[in-house]
């Protein structure tokens, strides 16, 4: 069974209760349609499990088949400089059909980012590096496509449609 390497740490984007009994990690690609389908499922699961779940997003852009995935990932990472990673993550998945650079800048403005700083951060090397670190950790952890989920450090290969996914997660509380 594939294990998450490295474990969730301070470099990660973490949403929800830090001490939750369930730690759900997703490796995702912003342009991947399956990830787009997973997005509302995760939202709903977070709502239903409340304080029982902590959600972590790591980047796994398959840029050869998804030409806008890397820039979308950079946009979300750049937004983290202004403490709006999750706002950017959300708005990108909600507008997955429009991920050209002009669109990304529009979303940045819409969620209230300072556009000048956003553009500078978008080109800052540390965010590209963060994405590459995420990607390599995914490869070493056995990520074989997107989305890939890890629950409490173990790869989850079962159905992630809401009903079975939620039932499985609830069984762990």
Partner 1 sequence: MLPIGTQAPDFSLHVTPDQKIKLSELKGKKVILAFYPADWSPVCGDELALYNQTLKFFHKHHAEIIGISVDSKWCHLAFSQDRKLHFPLLADFEPKGAVSKLYDVYDEVEGESKRALYVIDEEGVIRWNYLSPMGMNPGADGILDALEEMDKK
Interface size with partner 1, residues (CB under 8 A): 20
- Beta carbon of residue 166, minimum distance to partner 1 (angstroms, whole number): 22
- From residue 73 to residue 112, the character string flagging contacts with partner 1 as x (rule: CB under 8 A) and all else as - is ----------------------------------------
Nearer to partner 1, 143 or 151 (CB): 143
- Beta carbon of residue 31, minimum distance to partner 1 (angstroms, whole number): 10
Nearer to partner 1, 66 or 84 (CB): 66
Side-chain-side CA neighbours of 64 within 13 Å: the count stands at: 0
CB 53 within 8 A of CB 22: yes
- From residue 143 to residue 172, the character string flagging contacts with partner 1 as x (rule: CB under 8 A) and all else as - is xxxx----------x---------------
DSSP code, position 3: B
CB 86 within 8 A of CB 112: no
Subset of residues 10 to 69 that bind partner 1, contact rule: CB under 8 A? 29, 32-34, 62-65
Among 16, 26, 141, 149, binds partner 1 (CB under 8 A): 141
Subset of residues 109 to 138 that bind partner 1, contact rule: CB under 8 A? 135-136
Q: Please, is 46 exposed, middle or buried when counting C-beta atoms within 10 Å of its C-beta (0-12, 13-18, 19+)?
A: middle
CA dihedral 71, 161, 151, 6 (to 10 degrees): -20
- Beta carbon of residue 141, minimum distance to partner 1 (angstroms, whole number): 7
CB 124 within 8 A of CB 78: yes
Q: How far apart are CA 43 and CA 153, in angstroms?
A: 20
Nearer to partner 1, 53 or 143 (CB): 143
Residue 117 neighbours by CB distance under 10 Å? 13
Q: Enumerate binding residues for partner 1 (CB under 8 A).
A: 2, 29, 32-34, 62-65, 135-136, 139-146, 157
């Amino acid at each position: 069974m594939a294990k998450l390497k490295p474990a969730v740490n301070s470099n990660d984007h973490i949403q929800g209760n830090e001490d939750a009994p369930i730690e759900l990690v997703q490796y995702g690609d912003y342009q991947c349609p399956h990830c787009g389908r997973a997005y509302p499922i995760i939202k709903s699961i977070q709502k239903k499990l409340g304080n029982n779940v902590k959600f972590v997003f790591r980047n796994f852009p398959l840029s050869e088949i998804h030409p806008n995935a890397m820039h979308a990932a950079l946009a979300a990472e750049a937004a983290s400089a202004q403490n709006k990673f999750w706002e950017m993550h959300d708005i990108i998945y909600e507008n997955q059909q429009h991920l050209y650079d002009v669109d990304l800048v529009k979303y940045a403005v819409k969620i209230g980012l300072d556009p000048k700083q956003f553009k500078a951060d978008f080109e800052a090397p540390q965010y590209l590096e963060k994405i590459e670190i995420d990607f390599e950790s995914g490869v070493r952890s056995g990520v074989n496509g997107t989305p890939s989920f890890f629950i409490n450090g173990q790869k989850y290969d079962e159905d992630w449609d809401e009903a079975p996914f939620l039932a499985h997660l609830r069984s762990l509380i």
